[in-house]
Structure 1
């Protein structure tokens, strides 16, 4: 495959050079301006030849230049305007005035994966976000740019630490497997036709609840043309088993094909980020008052050894540990440069980018990446052969930390000692505390490089019949090094510890070959599109984790040859193979009635020999009722109306590899093997049955566009690790469980043009999702360990809790209900069920434009419950800091307080321990967040006419600016993780 791509790249470069070297004969240059009916220039108008490839686009002033021949005809097209075709003849200047299209809804081209359609004609549920909506956001991962912009798509940023993976669910959780290492709910990600293994790269040093690093980080947001999300069966069934949880299509930018003219686009922005929220904690006097009252309540005296905070530390010292440990300002810098050129047959775009972010944590933490991309297109002169080649390459470096400063910042006593002593060394205050900055010396660095390359070849065999081939290759290499020197420990323990290092290497590579036949024909009012293809994919991944110990000097840490002892903790190699046959048949009558049939037969190496193949398919239909004579003649206010529906099945093979085999590992001693997994060759595919109905209308000259969808997805034959009794020697065995998970919901979208005048326009886009997730069937759940996790008839994302009954008026401690009155608390007493999933979520985006000024902002709203800070807090009275709310503590009989009395004894600890596992720990975590705010200004053509530039834009952007919530904690989405960073960036874009 590598040789094939090198050959294709050489061929592409040759085509570029040779096509430029051949002079064009009989050509003339034509120029002109494209304006609207208000005589305002229209930038970005596509100008193409009617009967041959090539063309150009207008600049910011609506101007264009193009090399043509007298027999050519030019097509002027722009979204929202009527397309015009003009014959060139002997003209040297053609000025065009475009008329607004009364029904422009269908002009938006939608990428449906193996084929393209329009918003007007699509039969499936597909959401699209364009480059203009995401490219200026100062985020590393493209998924973060989707938050609040799509109905039915939940994107949760679980931590504000740069580079960590965000979670995404499309129309809810389908699988019982939702752990970081075994997640059956991941959608399929495809970048320019290449499937990407999007599973987070686990790191050795981060805490276990951190999701890992996202392989999509190395994509350059400035190079993304659009992101489409495929949701229903009609849109996803053609992907078979890979489309069960939806499909995310990421399309990078392609060359515009301006003839013989090199275009340069440069963009630079810089700014800063800070933690968006901090908690209000006890100050020193409040904290010490709490501690002293705890001793008084317990009838005890503090000791020098056990209670240094009240006996040995400075009683007047105060440190805001949140400010010290995650209160820094992180600088952000981003640079992008894109070059494009071409002629009528060959064109290319070459780009590069650099992104760097600091960290809000103390020390030299940060993230940086460099990216490069090329996209080349070529057509033969007879227009039979078409080629598109794209490559995206990125390298990044993430300097992480292997402990949480956030948790320390919330719990350290406010009078804790100075971080450094008088000599500038870490201060251990006579071994009375663990200095949090010891983590500075536990350096952790992850270096990754990611390559995604794709080539599409198409050849027209006969009129209407094309032979296509999609070739793709992707590789990811990640290397992590953690250094743990002795000085990370208190000097009194140095004699008992050793310096160590952890080395992790992750390699992933995959190739895909997809030959296809595509047929299109039109007979009168009947249109038919047919597609048949094969898919062959191979994925290999390896993980090697080794540990070195006993380095004689800190400078040698990381060199395994200098370690006294080296051991290999993980050495894993996996080979995954996948093949499929797929097809599509799309028909329409009079461009009014549409039917779409898709099917796929999948084969996966993750199943036993007799279970490897399965069939999936779907049917979708749409009726444009606004095209009926009655509506055209009688309902003048209705410009567009469509009913659509779909039903089908998709599957899932998202399980660990080799689960159907007995597996063994060598023992530490010589000559031995031990079993690591039980065999079960009989489990088979999960099946997801999807049903959807929808209506879409455009009113008042399409200034009001409304969409309403209802869906129901049922996922059965759940693939899980079936829990086994300890006597078997194994924790689980891979199996199908008789469980059915149902996701239903309503999705609403509203687009309005509120004001539209010559110079001013105000547009709004609103989306709302009301989801419902439920485990509707699970025979024999009482006989499995899942009885303590799930309940039939309830959502999957639930907490099964004790019932909180307030504060005991006699003891002043929390009390929970002992349901069976046996004097102990266990799962039999957990009778309260709290749904931690989203009840509904929405996004509201407004865009205002006035001449060259544009202002847009996006509000994100989520209605949900979540664990509060209380669920992870220490017992009031212990030597950990608390939020100021704990001042409302029980003082005596008759008090109506929120927190139990301050105490350090065992009954107080057990009462608190039980309470944080009750419904007392879950509360409203709804929030309204100003997600993005952008302001830009395009300099007028007159201001830059003497500079030779085509356009200059100044812009400013804010991210996560405001959050309104009653949630007790750092962030209603991430809990006690670092909240999303509040960012401000300012930039400049120049085109010439």
Structure 2
């Protein structure tokens, strides 16, 4: 009897499950935006469950809707969430409405966030929509023409090259004028790295602006938004690091809901749209004959006597420029629960340069995770690793390919009759074949970077939050220059040379700050106070080998002559900062910030400095006497600001006494290079 009852119980349970599954129905539909265009990528979740799907490229969805569930929730970035009760329907088409949250949008400021309507300092946002609408390899390229008061100028035609950013003009003539880049709260390292510091000598030119991008390691598809702090009242919170403006970069975070997998791919072609107008061979022959006649020089060349018999010759600009493909592929996953959220991505970027012999490759991986361990405790981890491989192509400088292409006469062919590279040395003229230079000489740069942070947010009492964070940026570079032993026509290099330099850099940052925010009646205010300390260390080793056994041998150790150099250094900063904000009735705003910095780059008697800032704003469109103008001016704000900033990026130990080597009659000696200045 007991056995029969057990079998009956099992049968009833199985039958109940079959009935439940039998009562689950399928709901389908199409999601469109307010212009009736299909919306791909919209998250559709059964309310109160983890059952969810994502709309396809046509905006269609198909989801299993279990018995007992009430509604579907539709969500997408830039649109209001919609909750729709299903009832007896099996087909539900949804029209998503664009969000109008510009004023209530939360934006990142130094050490915290604020509502845009409460901002008194000058800043501007570049959102994901503007970034996704650009065909770019580096995130700094997205600022070109998209941020008022920000000037962006390309410093190099090389793939992956840097863009020089100036926030409200040039602020210094001696130190670096590039802005401070902060990624998820961590100061990005590598800004202003010159070719010499990377072991490439003057091959990238000797300009004041580096052509190596400090943020080319960042994948633009991982970026959620960028906030550019422009005036001194906004950047003073960064004290001695904020003189050139601050670019706050926020990467994508996880979201609660079903896992969403995205593929983002791009393929394109590049070309140089313009050329400098140069003489062809006939025009060059006429010019050469005219010079020989007017100045009665000996440069009367018999092959130029009848220019009409000549062809167009070599167009060196067309020779060095090429149609260059570029492609990028990324796969990402985003999702989580109400308690834990994640974002994971991996990407590959390959860009050939429009100049022959140049290329840029990037591999990047990112994982961002945050979890609510307790109702009063949140843990987060952001980490990214990137590897870039660059063939810089010797494009820059007075001995670069572009310069040579403009100075090489059109009567010199690319190849001689034997198919070898041609070059000629004449009286008053020595130029290497630019194509040969591009293909035979190497200028290589490899960079790896691991950066991110680990943070903890604790809310011991309501409205008070303690944020503690450990940030890191660990990177390494390998720069190589190789000059082969070659013969081009009657020009030759008899001794080859190889130079390899490795740099290792580490940056550790630790900060704590407390934030208290409250409001009553029409008043709202917030207080923030904190402390920060960081240390940066670097070291390099360079080996130069002259006279290698052959061009296939790149090991400098095997050369007949060696040179070895090395260096190291460090810098550190300790800081204390605070901010007070007050807002009345969303009309009147006031902000005061203070920071005190101590930098090892300055002498012991001038190591610490204070930075103050004030800012105020008046949203005049909220005044009752201007309500009638809302159809003309929907949001108007007047603001004023004053602040103090500094620039500590002057190099380490410039204030101290150093020594240098010098030859003497008794051998190599040492002498003091400069006098110490503790101020």
Whole-Å separation in 2 of the counterparts to 1:53 and 1:175 = 57
Name the stretch that deviates more: 79-88 or 201-210: 79-88
The offset of 1:560, in angstroms, is 2.1
Residues 1:498 and 1:37: Cα distance change in structure 2 (over 3 Å):
closer
Residues 1:409 and 2:405 aligned together? yes
* Aligned with residue 272 of structure 1, among 269, 275, 279: 269
C-alpha contact 1:622 1:643 (8 A) present in aligned 2: yes
C-alpha contact 1:57 1:256 (8 A) present in aligned 2: no
C-alpha contact 1:660 1:680 (8 A) present in aligned 2: yes
C-alpha contact 1:54 1:257 (8 A) present in aligned 2: no
Gaps of 5+ in 2: 1-23
The offset of 1:431, in angstroms, is 7.2
Partner of 1:250: 249
**TM-score normalized by the length of structure 2:** 0.83
Whole-Å separation in 1 of the counterparts to 2:353 and 2:260 = 36
Paired residues for 1:685-700 under 5 Å? none
Whole-Å separation in 2 of the counterparts to 1:642 and 1:525 = 18
The offset of 1:606, in angstroms, is 0.8
* Aligned with residue 138 of structure 2, among 141, 152, 160: 141
C-alpha contact 2:441 2:483 (8 A) present in aligned 1: yes
C-alpha contact 2:155 2:211 (8 A) present in aligned 1: no
Residues 1:334 and 2:332 aligned together? no
Partner of 2:20: none
Gaps of 5+ in 1: 1-27, 178-182, 683-992
> Deviation digits for residues 375-433 of structure 1, max 9, x if unmatched?
111112x42111221112111111123342212222222222x3323333223458786
Partner of 1:521: 518
C-alpha contact 1:71 1:87 (8 A) present in aligned 2: no
> Deviation digits for residues 953-985 of structure 1, max 9, x if unmatched?
xxxxxxxxxxxxxxxxxxxxxxxxxxxxxxxxx
Whole-Å separation in 1 of the counterparts to 2:91 and 2:336 = 22
C-alpha contact 2:158 2:355 (8 A) present in aligned 1: no
The offset of 1:355, in angstroms, is 1.0
Residues 1:55 and 1:621: Cα distance change in structure 2 (over 3 Å):
farther
The offset of 1:62, in angstroms, is 8.5
The offset of 1:97, in angstroms, is 7.2
Residues 1:314 and 1:555: Cα distance change in structure 2 (over 3 Å):
farther
Residues 1:562 and 2:558 aligned together? yes
Residues 1:398 and 2:390 aligned together? yes
Whole-Å separation in 2 of the counterparts to 1:522 and 1:47 = 35
Residues 1:616 and 1:492: Cα distance change in structure 2 (over 3 Å):
closer
The offset of 1:250, in angstroms, is 1.4
Residues 1:44 and 1:331: Cα distance change in structure 2 (over 3 Å):
closer
Whole-Å separation in 2 of the counterparts to 1:619 and 1:384 = 33
Residues 1:386 and 2:378 aligned together? yes
Whole-Å separation in 2 of the counterparts to 1:42 and 1:493 = 62
Residues 1:677 and 1:212: Cα distance change in structure 2 (over 3 Å):
farther
Residues 1:195 and 2:187 aligned together? yes
**TM-score normalized by the length of structure 1:** 0.58
Whole-Å separation in 2 of the counterparts to 1:622 and 1:132 = 28
The offset of 1:321, in angstroms, is 2.6
Partner of 1:549: 546
> Deviation digits for residues 231-273 of structure 1, max 9, x if unmatched?
0123211111111110011111111222xx3321112221211
C-alpha contact 1:171 1:231 (8 A) present in aligned 2: yes
Paired residues for 1:402-801 under 5 Å? 402=394, 403-416=399-412, 418-428=413-423, 434-436=431-433, 437-439=435-437, 440-487=439-486, 497-556=494-553, 558-568=554-564, 570-632=565-627, 637-667=632-662, 672-682=669-679
Whole-Å separation in 2 of the counterparts to 1:244 and 1:645 = 18
The offset of 1:314, in angstroms, is 12
C-alpha contact 2:447 2:478 (8 A) present in aligned 1: yes
> Deviation digits for residues 44-101 of structure 1, max 9, x if unmatched?
7799999x99998974649798999999999988788778899999x99999877777
* Aligned with residue 354 of structure 2, among 339, 360, 368: 360
Whole-Å separation in 2 of the counterparts to 1:40 and 1:329 = 35
Residues 1:73 and 1:657: Cα distance change in structure 2 (over 3 Å):
farther
Partner of 1:864: none
Q: Secondary structure at the match of 2:120?
A: coil
Residues 1:668 and 1:501: Cα distance change in structure 2 (over 3 Å):
farther
Residues 1:648 and 1:595: Cα distance change in structure 2 (over 3 Å):
same
Partner of 1:208: 206
Whole-Å separation in 1 of the counterparts to 2:324 and 2:36 = 46
Partner of 2:171: 174
Residues 1:142 and 1:291: Cα distance change in structure 2 (over 3 Å):
same
Q: Secondary structure at the match of 1:498?
A: coil
Q: Secondary structure at the match of 2:673?
A: strand
Name the stretch that deviates more: 110-119 or 602-611: 110-119
Partner of 1:900: none
Whole-Å separation in 1 of the counterparts to 2:649 and 2:422 = 49
Whole-Å separation in 1 of the counterparts to 2:309 and 2:479 = 43
C-alpha contact 2:425 2:431 (8 A) present in aligned 1: no
Partner of 1:115: 112
The offset of 1:656, in angstroms, is 2.0
C-alpha contact 1:532 1:582 (8 A) present in aligned 2: yes
